[in-house]
């Protein structure tokens, strides 16, 4: 096995860029379960951050702290330079949690107007619904919407108060490809206008498509923080693909996958692996070595130890 990957330092941003949300040495427990372990993380104005981690890694807990739904056991959480418990500061954020329940008998337009009334200014309803592919549904009752339409509405509500910072916790869970891409367009539109987004997702292709900065959390700590390319490099693995009938046991192989006649090997040292193949006199062809995908890097970073529940 490769040597364990050590925790990396965070991406160093331009110090002139405003910090909108900050976690400083934050610890949070649920009984005997350590959800966050002295975690520190800054979210800067204008970023689109993908927050990755296996179930139980602490992602939702961190978002709940940032939006004022929970308090840390130790450490400090800041939102716009103050406490997330301050309702005035919370008016500057939008949130879509993993699960939402909207009144089935209310109409879509009524739900949007109700949420908008809680903010000093709001996005025009028609423009908001168009951005999230909900145009023409103002008079439909929420209970008559499909699952995908309800989820798009829940995400749209995070943007109705013209926020500076939006937290999206698994925003596209359960959506088909077309609906997911509609949401991506809405998120990109907000970010292009200067908005800041933090999103969690189990769809790693979603994070690759949207995020400029990727933060990987495991065991309640930050394991990696940087661009997608940075995270791949931090994982330190390469994919070696070749065609061979039979392969012997090879040193340094982290995982093996067969796909038809092709074999895919993940390794921390591609050069050493190829030398081992040659020394073993293994007949092979069509050798290809490339950087790992974000998914492969993520699995490598998070597979070292069991995660907290």
Mean pLDDT across 273-298 = 83
Q: What does the pLDDT average to over 258-277?
A: 85
pTM metric for this prediction: 0.78
Work out the mean pLDDT of the chain and round it to a whole number: 87
Catalogue the E-assigned strands of the chain: 19-30, 33-44, 48-52, 74-79, 93-96, 165-169, 196-200, 213-218, 221-226, 238-243, 253-259, 262-267, 285-291
| pLDDT at residue 2, as a whole number | 37
CATH topology assigned to domain 19-233: Rossmann fold (3.40.50)
- Give the domain ranges of the chain: 19-233, 238-291
Q: Does residue 4 register a pLDDT over 60?
A: no
Q: How confident is the model at residue 7 (pLDDT cuts 50, 70, 90)?
A: very low
pLDDT at position 14: 61
Contact 26, 72 (CB under 8 A): yes
Q: What is the pLDDT of residue 13?
A: 56
Tokens 């990957």 found at: 5
- 74 within 8 A of 25, measured Cβ to Cβ: yes
pLDDT in tens, 202-255: 888 899 889 999 999 988 999 889 888 888 777 677 888 989 888 888 888 877
pLDDT at 11: 53
Q: How many angstroms separate the Cα of 57 from the Cα of each of 6, 51, 89, 108, 236?
A: 17, 10, 27, 34, 21
Q: Which residues contact 55 (CB under 8 A, 6 or more apart)?
A: 307
């Amino acid at each position: 096995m490769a040597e364990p990957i050590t925790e990396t330092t965070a991406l160093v941003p331009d110090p002139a860029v405003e910090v909108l949300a900050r976690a400083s040495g934050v610890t949070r427990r649920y009984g005997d379960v350590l959800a966050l372990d002295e975690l520190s993380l800054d979210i800067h104005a204008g970023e689109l951050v993908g927050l990755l981690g296996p179930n139980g890694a602490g992602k939702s807990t961190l978002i709940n702290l940032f939006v004022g739904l929970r308090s840390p056991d130790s450490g400090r959480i800041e939102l716009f330079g103050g406490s997330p418990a301050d309702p005035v500061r919370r008016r500057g954020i939008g949130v879509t949690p993993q699960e939402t329940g909207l009144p089935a008998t209310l109409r879509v337009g009524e739900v949007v107007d109700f949420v908008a009334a809680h903010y000093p200014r709001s996005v025009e309803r028609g423009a908001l619904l168009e951005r999230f592919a909900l145009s023409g549904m103002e008079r439909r009752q929420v209970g008559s919407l499909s699952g995908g339409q309800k989820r798009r509405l829940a995400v749209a509500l995070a943007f109705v108060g013209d926020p500076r910072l939006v937290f999206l916790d698994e925003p596209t869970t359960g959506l088909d490809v077309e609906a997911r891409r509609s949401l991506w367009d809405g998120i990109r539109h907000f970010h292009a206008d200067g908005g800041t987004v933090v999103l969690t997702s189990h769809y790693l292709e979603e994070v690759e498509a949207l995020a400029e900065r990727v933060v990987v959390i495991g065991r309640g700590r930050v394991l990696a923080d940087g661009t997608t390319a940075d995270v791949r490099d931090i994982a330190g693995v390469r994919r070696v693909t070749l065609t061979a009938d039979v392969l012997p046991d090879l040193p340094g192989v982290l995982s093996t996958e067969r796909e038809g006649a092709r074999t895919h090997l993940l390794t921390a040292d591609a050069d050493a692996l190829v030398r081992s193949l040659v020394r073993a006199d293994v007949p092979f062809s069509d050798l290809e070595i490339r950087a790992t995908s974000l998914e492969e890097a993520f699995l490598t970073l998070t597979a070292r130890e069991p995660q907290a529940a």
